[in-house]
């Protein structure tokens, strides 16, 4: 506002040829409430957790699991928390008191189902069979002596 009052309203605008303060009066516009303007300008970035929730002002707001790990913008307007990814609005929730968790319907839709059981660890390892020399029975009999027969 210091710039508007000290610079912009003291000179003619290049496009309109009027001082902004004079045009403002003629158009009978109503000023934007400072609180609403401050809320609009106060977007904050947050990361979506692995559980599909965004933490903001002590509360958690849900989005689809597909956005886990992504950075989103949080915007509060008139008591409503809006979550944005670029130009895409992911959802909106009523501003909740600190400590609240606000889920979103169908947050887990299309989540791939995988087994949560850990894989069994092997208890042993099969080694290849060792090379064994093959001999005829007569070779064994000769080594033992011919007493058997």
pLDDT in tens, 37-46: 565 567 899 9
**Which residue segment(s) compose the domain that 64 sits in?**
34-109
Q: Are residues 64 and 1 in the same domain?
A: no
Cα 71 from Cα 16, distance rounded (Å): 40
Q: Considering the domain boundaries, does residue 129 fall inside one?
A: no
Q: Are residues 56 and 99 in the same domain?
A: yes
Q: Return the pLDDT at 36.
A: 59
Structure tokens at 84: 């944005």
Q: Could you tell me which of 57, 59, 60, 55 has the C-alpha nearest to residue 71?
A: 55
Q: At 20, is the pLDDT very low, low, confident or very high (cuts 50, 70, 90)?
A: confident
Handedness of CA 64, 68, 73, 75 (dihedral sign): positive
CA 106 to chain centre: 16
Q: Return the pLDDT at 34.
A: 66
Determine the average pLDDT of the residues in 118-123.
77
Q: Assess whether pLDDT exceeds 90 at residue 4.
A: no
pLDDT digits (tens, 9 = 90+) for 123-137: 777 788 888 888 888
Q: Are residues 79 and 66 in the same domain?
A: yes
Place of tokens 């968790």: 101
Q: Are residues 57 and 102 in the same domain?
A: yes
Q: Are residues 80 and 93 in the same domain?
A: yes
Q: Considering the domain boundaries, does residue 146 fall inside one?
A: no
Q: Are residues 39 and 102 in the same domain?
A: yes
Q: Return the pLDDT at 49.
A: 94
Q: Considering the domain boundaries, does residue 13 fall inside one?
A: yes
Q: Are residues 7 and 61 in the same domain?
A: no
Q: Considering the domain boundaries, does residue 115 fall inside one?
A: no
Q: Assess whether pLDDT exceeds 80 at residue 10.
A: yes
Strand runs labelled E in 57-130: 59-62, 71-77, 80-85, 88-94, 101-102
Q: Are residues 15 and 72 in the same domain?
A: no
Domain count, the chain: 2
Q: Are residues 24 and 38 in the same domain?
A: no
φ, ψ (nearest 5 deg) of residue 47: -100, 135
Q: Where are the alpha helices (DSSP H) in the chain?
A: 2-6, 20-27, 34-41, 137-144
Query: 3-class DSSP state for residue 9?
Result: helix
Q: Are residues 66 and 83 in the same domain?
A: yes
Q: Considering the domain boundaries, does residue 94 fall inside one?
A: yes
Q: Are residues 21 and 76 in the same domain?
A: no
* Rg of the Cα atoms in the chain: 38
User: Which of 33-37, 78-82, 92-96 is predicted with the least confidence, judged by mean pLDDT?
Assistant: 33-37
């Amino acid at each position: 506002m210091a710039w508007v009052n000290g610079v912009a309203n003291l000179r003619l605008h290049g496009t309109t040829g009027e001082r902004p303060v004079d045009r403002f009066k003629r158009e009978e516009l109503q000023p934007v409430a400072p609180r609403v303007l401050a809320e609009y300008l106060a977007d904050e970035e947050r990361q979506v957790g692995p559980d599909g929730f965004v933490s903001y002002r002590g509360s958690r707001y849900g989005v689809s699991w597909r956005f886990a790990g992504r950075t989103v913008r949080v915007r509060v307007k008139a008591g409503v928390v809006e979550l944005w990814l670029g130009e895409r609005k992911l959802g909106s929730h009523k501003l909740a008191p600190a400590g609240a968790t606000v889920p979103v319907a169908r947050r887990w839709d299309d989540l791939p189902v995988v087994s949560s059981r850990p894989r069994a660890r092997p208890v042993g390892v099969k080694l290849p069979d060792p090379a064994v020399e093959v001999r005829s029975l007569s070779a064994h009999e000769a080594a033992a002596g011919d007493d058997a027969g």
